[in-house]
Amino acid sequence: MADLKLPRLNKIFIAGRITHDLELKYTPKGTPVLRFSLASDRRYKDDTGEWQTQTTFVDIVVWSYAAENIHKQAKKGTAVLVEGRLEIRSYVDQNNQNRRIAEIVADNVQTLEWGPRDEGTAGEDIPLPQEPQAPATKDDVPF
């Protein structure tokens, strides 16, 4: 049997809205960390042909500069695109029970809105660029 080469790939992209107010915290060594939940919708047709929406809630963890950056740019309800990796974390709860949690550790978080939400700029028309100038002729090229 030939050796099987599996790619070492753990990459996730997910878009949705932040579900609660963001609280930036710091580790004992001073590293910024931001945790939030993301609501991501999936639309599908059911057996009767009616459109349905299924919402999935995903826990996101952002570290370091990216945590500080998204904390400044986003808030509850902001639409974001998260790029990261899936991690399964184990811990012991208050009742001494072993638990596991799946969360996305974000490498990059981008807001999907123009400007702050409370200024009403999201979804406004984007100005069109000015009419392009006439193309250069052979005589205009300096070489």
- pLDDT digits 0-9 by tens, 49-85: 999 999 999 999 999 999 999 999 999 999 999 999 9
- Tell me what the mean pLDDT of segment 97-119 comes to: 85
Asked whether the beta carbons of 35 and 59 are under 8 A apart, the reply is yes
- The full set of domain ranges for the chain reads 12-115
Asked whether the beta carbons of 68 and 32 are under 8 A apart, the reply is yes
Q: Torsion over CA of 32, 95, 89 and 67, rounded to 10 degrees?
A: -20
Confirm or reject CATH 2.40.50.140 for domain 12-115, answering yes or no.
Answer: yes
- Tell me what the mean pLDDT of segment 121-140 comes to: 46
Split at pLDDT 50, 70, 90, the class of 120 is: very low
pTM, full prediction: 0.71
